[in-house]
Amino acid sequence: MHRTATKLADGRELVYFDQAAGAVRDVRDERPLEPAASLSEIRLDPVLGEWVTVAAHRQQRTYRPPAGECPLCPSRDGRLSEIPAADYEVAVFENRFPSLAPGSAEHVAARDAPLHTLRPGNGRCEVVCFTSDHDASFADLDEARARLVLDAWTDRTAELSALPGVRQVYCFENRGEEIGVTLAHPHGQIYAFPFVPSRTTRMIARAEAHRDRTGRNLFEDLLAAEQDTPERLVLRGEHWIAFVPFAARWPYEVHLYPKRRVADLTELTEPERAEFPGLYLDLLRRFDALFPAPPGAAPNRTPYISAWHQAPRTGGGQLALHLELFTVRRAPGKLKYLAGVESGMDAFVTDVSPEQAASRLREAALG
């Protein structure tokens, strides 16, 4: 992997990742861009103990631009986008409309009142472009490109974790209008949080309680149990295992774990990294194959969220790196909405049994 770090016209960082060692990335960003003010703040919900990010400055962000004005396409034919190069393999840059931004402390003062705790949203948000091909999707990438994306996620995890104030790095992809994606170009995002999100905090608390009770690691026990549960297994490689969790929340949900417990992407070994692309692409293609398009229609693209769970910088010794992949689609043309029970009470109800979901995912024709 070859990495070139550069800056955009307004000072934001852009990093190119190329497969070839000698790749030259020296095109300058010629746009007349002024640095954007970051007004992000995080507020602690005193009742739930969860942080909420308030990013009121994001309302002006780009919303569903026509394909010819895509900010993630390369800069070509006189049109300047977020990526100055005329082509690229994988490119990562700081979001111009970030939810969390390193400069927030200059504009937002911390407050420590017991019921009104507020901090500047001093994190960082990055955009990861998986390919310069506007019409592709992650599932269309070849294994070498998927590996390059894994290397980019790993690089960003190491670099962002080292920034002052960053507590946890979260790499994810939202795919599909149904998920609320505003840019069709294949891309993911990375959030460097200045706090540990409550879902991670709950996982760590469960794992620590399990260790105190049994002397063992929760995730290692979980993987051992799921390896022996063929009805929920989806894929098994030499180094990774993918299964539908026992209490899956979403109609189709798969968790992909390295068999050896590691805290984050930076701890994966070369054999583990080498096997990941094939398995992950296989899973994504199975998701697309769940809901075949009618004859003559464009191929189905199942909306999904793909979320890497990594240990926070400190205090996450019991957590295991894993990827959670799920779709909101429960049947052709039917979506699972988070309504009163889920949104009102954080209590999920699902119409698809996890064992049926795993069976369908095992049978899904390979793309």
Taking the complex as a whole, the smallest distance from the CB of residue 65 to Zn ion amounts, in Å, to 9
Of the two residues 134 and 206, which places its CB atom closer to Zn ion in the complex? 134
Q: State the sign of the Cα–Cα–Cα–Cα dihedral 134, 136, 138, 140.
A: negative
Q: What single letter denotes the amino acid at residue 124?
A: R
Taking the complex as a whole, the smallest distance from the CB of residue 85 to Zn ion amounts, in Å, to 13
Determine whether 187 is an active site residue. Answer: yes
Taking the complex as a whole, the smallest distance from the CB of residue 353 to Zn ion amounts, in Å, to 38
Contact 62, 183 (CB under 8 A): yes
Of the two residues 173 and 324, which places its CB atom closer to Zn ion in the complex? 173
The β-bridge relationship of strands 322-327 and 329-331 is unpaired
Q: Which entry of 187, 210, 309, 322 is annotated as an active-site residue?
A: 187
Taking the complex as a whole, the smallest distance from the CB of residue 61 to Zn ion amounts, in Å, to 16
Of the two residues 84 and 123, which places its CB atom closer to Zn ion in the complex? 84
Taking the complex as a whole, the smallest distance from the CB of residue 185 to Zn ion amounts, in Å, to 3
With CB atoms as reference, the residue minimizing the distance to Zn ion is: 70
Of the two residues 65 and 278, which places its CB atom closer to Zn ion in the complex? 65
Of the two residues 70 and 307, which places its CB atom closer to Zn ion in the complex? 70
Residues forming the site for Zn ion (CB under 5 A): 70, 72-73, 134, 185
Q: Which residues are catalytic?
A: 187
